[in-house]
């Protein structure tokens, strides 16, 4: 367990410990993102895409483990953001660039940079607005979902044996730009944070979970990509519904 000193006014240095368990999950997620970068450089794009999905699962566990064990800390929050920047910012951008965008010249690296910068801005805004926004909805597409969308496109294309021709390059460019820009919008995306996993559920809910896992196991690349593509689009549908339901503004009162 790592320790670092903290100065105390008028007294000796006091050492503060760092909680080990949640940071192990964060470190594992960071390693998965780093592993995806290495595999992309070795042209093993399917393995790189799977590593990003593994990082997404581990990232979802570290926060819950910290809350369940009451081991939240400022260090863990900062460490988690830095890990997310690598796993969901740099890694997906590099995987997509090496797979399809590299042959597009400036257009390719511009799209990769827009995605990477969008992730950084998204994480910074999330950290500063965490106590302000409605916890039921994310403000903009969350970075793990954006990474899953980009990596899922690479994975499903590689699974079908689609070569990187001109037309697939432009689709990859569109997916990357869409994910990068949507992360920094104000479009609401459902966060699933109001679901309480400690409450009892009816038996049919367990059957639905088992059926969902069975469907995913049939064709993981296709099903996962379709799920995250639907999630990446549902925010705009939700915004459209909210706009239509908003009551019209009252006309100004006539002057006497």
CATH number at residue 95: 1.20.120.1760
Mean pLDDT, residues 183-211: 80
Q: What percent of the chain has pLDDT over 90?
A: 50
Residue 165, burial from CB neighbour count under 10 angstroms (0-12, 13-18, 19+): exposed
CA-wise closest residue to 126 among 85, 73, 176 = 85
pLDDT, residue 247, reads 63
CB atoms within 10 A of CB 133: 15
* Those residues with Cβ within 8 angstroms of residue 151's Cβ, 6 or more apart along the chain or in another chain: 36, 48, 49, 52, 53, 92, 95, 96
**Residue 22 is assigned to a structural domain of this protein:** yes
Domains held by the chain: number = 1
From 19-28, 134-143, 220-229, 246-255, the region with the lowest mean pLDDT: 246-255
Q: How confident is the model at residue 194 (pLDDT cuts 50, 70, 90)?
A: low
**Residue 216 is assigned to a structural domain of this protein:** yes
**Residue 248 is assigned to a structural domain of this protein:** no
Q: What percent of the chain has pLDDT over 70?
A: 84
Q: How far apart are CA 177 and CA 100, in angstroms?
A: 13
Query: What domain range is 23 assigned to?
Result: 15-191+201-243
Question: Does the structure show a pLDDT above 90 at 244?
Answer: no
- Cβ-contact 183, 122 below 8 angstroms: yes
**Residue 1 is assigned to a structural domain of this protein:** no
Mean pLDDT of all residues in the chain? 84
**Residue 115 is assigned to a structural domain of this protein:** yes
Q: How confident is the model at residue 113 (pLDDT cuts 50, 70, 90)?
A: very high
**Residue 4 is assigned to a structural domain of this protein:** no
CB atoms within 10 A of CB 38: 14
Q: Using one digit for the tens of pLDDT, what is the confidence trace for 5-40?
A: 444 455 444 455 567 777 899 999 999 999 999 999
**Residue 249 is assigned to a structural domain of this protein:** no
Q: How far apart are CA 51 and CA 221, in angstroms?
A: 13
pLDDT, residue 255, reads 58
pLDDT, residue 180, reads 96
């Amino acid at each position: 367990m790592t320790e670092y000193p903290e100065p105390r006014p008028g007294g000796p240095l006091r050492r503060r410990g760092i909680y080990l368990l949640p940071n192990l999950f964060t470190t594992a997620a960071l390693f998965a993102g780093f592993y995806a970068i290495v595999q992309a450089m070795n042209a093993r794009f399917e393995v790189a895409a799977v590593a990003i999905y593994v990082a997404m699962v581990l990232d979802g566990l570290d926060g819950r483990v910290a809350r369940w064990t009451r081991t939240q800390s400022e260090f863990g929050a900062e460490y988690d953001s830095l890990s997310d920047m690598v796993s969901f910012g740099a890694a997906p951008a590099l995987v997509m660039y090496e797979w399809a965008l590299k042959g597009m010249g400036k257009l390719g690296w511009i799209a990769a940079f827009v995605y990477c910068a969008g992730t950084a801005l998204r994480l910074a805004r999330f950290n500063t607005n965490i106590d302000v926004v409605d916890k039921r909805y994310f403000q903009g597409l969350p970075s793990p979902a954006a990474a899953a969308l980009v990596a899922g496109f690479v994975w499903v294309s590689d699974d079908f044996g689609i070569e990187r021709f001109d037309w697939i390059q432009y689709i990859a460019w569109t997916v990357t730009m869409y994910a990068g820009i949507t992360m920094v919008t104000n479009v609401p995306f459902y966060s699933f944070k109001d679901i309480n996993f400690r409450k009892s559920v009816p038996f049919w809910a367990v059957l639905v979970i088992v059926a969902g896992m069975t469907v995913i196991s049939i064709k993981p690349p296709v099903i996962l990509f379709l799920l995250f593509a639907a999630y990446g689009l549902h925010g705009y549908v939700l915004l459209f519904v909210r706009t239509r339901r908003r009551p019209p503004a009252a006309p100004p009162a006539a002057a006497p």
